[in-house]
Each structure stands twice: as C-alpha cells, then as structure tokens.
Structure 1
Amino acid sequence: MNEDQLDQKYEGFKRLMESGKIFICGRDKMGRCVIYVTTRLHWPLDQPKLTMEKFLVFIMECGRLLMHPGEEPCLVVDLAGFSMGNVDYQ
C-alpha cells in the first residue's frame, strides 16, 4: 500500500508520517540504524488509536528492512518539551 491508500484506510496516517514524531534518520557512528522519537509532538487525541498502532508497526518494519541480519537499532528518545499531555495511556 502507498501512503495515500494507508491514509484512506487509517484516518490521519499521512499526517503522522509528516509529523516528525518518529522517523528513521540514517546510521550512528557504530553503523546502527537510528530511530528518533520526538515525544513532545505526540498528542494522543490527534489520531485514532488504531492509526497510531498501524503507524508504529509501519515505522518498525521500515527500520527492520534497513537493518542487517542480527543488527540492533539505536533508539533516540527526545524528551525536550515533554509534558503529561503527551502521554498516551492506552
């Protein structure tokens, strides 16, 4: 499926892709795939729960495809500007 089809099936999917809250940004100094999470950009009520779940699976699968067998990713979680409003209790 392309991003337009995903957006039709899961409301707000394309907006999540463009939000910058989670993205893959190359490799670190050790050659690991870097996945960057910007917590302050996540607002739980901005998209349906199912859309967020599908988006997370999509990002994980993209990262998996970029990694070599047996490689572990480097996960960077940016907590700058994080507040309780960004917490997704579901």
Structure 2
Amino acid sequence: MKKRSEWEIYHDILESLATNGSMKKTSLMHDIHMSWKPFNNHFGYLTKKGFIEQNGDSYKLTENGKELQNYKLTENGKELQKNLRHIKKTLR
C-alpha cells in the first residue's frame, strides 16, 4: 500500500466528516485507517486552523464517567474539503 501524503490524509479526514457528519475522534480514526498518534497530529492541526470544531452534542460513558465529544466540519472545513477533492480528482 502506498503511503499517503499529508494532503491526502487531510482530504481523508475532511471527506469522512463530510460523508458521515458528526463523529467521535476514534470513529473517525478507524474510518480513515490510521493509528492514534499520527491521526491526532493531523486532526489537531485541522482543528487548530478552524476546519473542524466540536459539535456540542457530547455524552458521558457510564462506566468511567469519561466525556466523549463529536466533531464536525466548519464552513471553512467544507470549503477546504471541496477544494482538496477537486485537486485530487484533477491529479488522477
């Protein structure tokens, strides 16, 4: 399997959120087939730049009281996702 570039990883994260809507980080990580540390670095970058935001509909797990948060694309994230999709299609 070919190694993905940073742009391909950003595209995959944004595309998954665009397709699935609001998602937990772990579900998103599994959906794009990445391990935690690299995923968290890329996810953190997209969040810091304002392309992904918390959705606000969090819930608590009863076993340990841990709060999980769902994330979604911002308007800028939707625009970036469309642009990256276009670039990827053009380069094929």
Q: TM-score, normalised by structure 1?
A: 0.30
Please state which structure has a larger fraction of its residues in strand.
1
